[in-house]
């Protein structure tokens, strides 16, 4: 495979399921125009969470958009064997290449999808910009915080398995692998010049005042670490900013698209 998985071919508009190594990932390419905007959903969510954003962004900016479901979610098959976040990154890259999606690419990521997106951006030169939508920031996930999250999750894991076995089949392996995942993402080094817009909502997914303060500090430190990064505050929004304030997500992605176009 050429460096960066570049194909040099036009994106293949339409939906398909791509074999990424013994299981099938569903992916949909729509529209035309550069850059391609790829949407990465949070843990346990399929691509339908972007239904208020993707068509509007495509209409406004005349870009190629890409929706896909990670393994075990939506229309994608589960992956057998132990969970490794590197497999998620590899599946995304293979799916994009099989669909003819060349660079530049803007990744728009929510929640746990931030981990997948940051790892992808660090490894794939096609990535030209990121929009993070209350996305996981590595600095927040130190060893102590990971253990607190695992303790909480374990209290309702059995209930989740009874109520929603399919979602549990995705989330339980993700959470069991969280210590290793967190160590891996804490080592990420992004290109300093990579444009990033980091959207932080008024009410995030953690609840205690101490954790809210800590996660906001980490978002601030992440943005402050590069002049190419920008913070956006989503007033009146909860964790699912794309549902509560889709206008903000569309606006952030639109401005990042303009920045990428100006550079290419």
**Residue 2: per-residue pLDDT:** 35
Residue 232, domain CATH: 3.40.50.1820
* Domain ranges, residue 35: 3-137+191-263
Instruction: Phi first, then psi: give them for residue 3, nearest 5 degrees.
Output: -55, 135
Residues 6 or more apart whose CB falls under 8 angstroms from that of 234 comprise 134, 199, 200, 201, 202, 241, 244, 245, 248
Helices and strands of the chain, counted as H and E runs: 9, 8
In a domain, 216, yes or no: yes
C-alpha triplet 229, 97, 133: angle, nearest 5°: 30
Contact between 110 and 243 (Cβ < 8 Å):
no
In a domain, 158, yes or no: no
Per-residue pLDDT of the chain (264 residues; tens, 9 = 90+): 333 444 444 567 899 999 999 999 999 999 999 999 999 999 999 999 999 999 999 999 999 999 999 999 999 999 999 999 999 999 999 999 999 998 899 999 999 999 999 999 999 999 999 999 999 999 999 999 999 999 999 999 999 999 999 999 999 999 999 999 999 999 999 999 999 999 999 999 998 999 999 999 999 999 999 999 999 999 999 999 999 999 999 999 999 999 999 987
In a domain, 199, yes or no: yes
Which long-range contacts (C-beta less than 8 Å, at least 24 apart) are formed by 202-207? 202/233, 202/234, 202/235, 202/236, 202/237, 202/238, 203/237, 203/238, 203/239, 204/134, 204/238, 204/239, 205/111, 205/134, 205/239
Q: Measured between alpha carbons, how far is residue 163 from residues 120, 173, 174, 223, 264 in Å? A: 32, 17, 18, 38, 48
In a domain, 152, yes or no: no
Cα separation of 192 and 260, whole Å? 15
**Residue 6: per-residue pLDDT:** 47
Say how many domains are in the chain. 1
Q: Measured between alpha carbons, how far is residue 149 from residues 76, 77, 231 in Å? A: 27, 27, 25
In a domain, 181, yes or no: no
**Residue 153: per-residue pLDDT:** 95
**Residue 190: per-residue pLDDT:** 93
């Amino acid at each position: 495979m050429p460096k960066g998985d570049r194909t040099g071919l036009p994106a293949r508009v339409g939906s398909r399921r791509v074999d990424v190594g013994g299981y099938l990932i569903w992916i949909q390419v729509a529209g035309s125009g550069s850059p391609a905007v790829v949407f990465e959903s949070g843990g346990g969510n399929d691509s339908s969470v972007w239904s208020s954003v993707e068509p509007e962004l495509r209409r406004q900016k005349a870009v190629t958009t890409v929706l896909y479901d990670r393994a075990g979610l939506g229309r994608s098959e589960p992956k057998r064997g132990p969970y490794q976040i590197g497999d998620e990154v590899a599946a995304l890259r293979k799916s994009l290449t099989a669909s003819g999606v060349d660079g530049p690419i803007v990744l728009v990521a929510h929640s746990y999808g931030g981990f997948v997106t940051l790892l992808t951006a660090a490894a794939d030169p096609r990535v030209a910009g990121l929009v993070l939508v209350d996305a996981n920031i590595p600095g927040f996930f130190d060893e102590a915080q990971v253990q607190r999250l695992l303790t909480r999750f374990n209290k309702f894991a059995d209930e989740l398995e009874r109520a929603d076995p399919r979602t549990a089949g995705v989330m339980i392996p993700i959470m069991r692998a969280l210590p290793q995942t967190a160590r891996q993402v804490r080592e990420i080094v992004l290109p300093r010049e990579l444009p990033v817009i980091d959207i932080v909502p008024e009410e995030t997914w953690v609840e205690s005042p101490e954790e809210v303060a800590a996660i906001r500090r980490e978002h601030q430190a992440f943005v402050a670490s590069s002049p190419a990064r920008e913070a956006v505050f989503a007033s009146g929004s909860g964790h699912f900013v794309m549902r509560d304030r889709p206008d903000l997500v569309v606006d952030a992605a639109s401005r990042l698209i303009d920045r990428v176009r100006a550079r290419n």
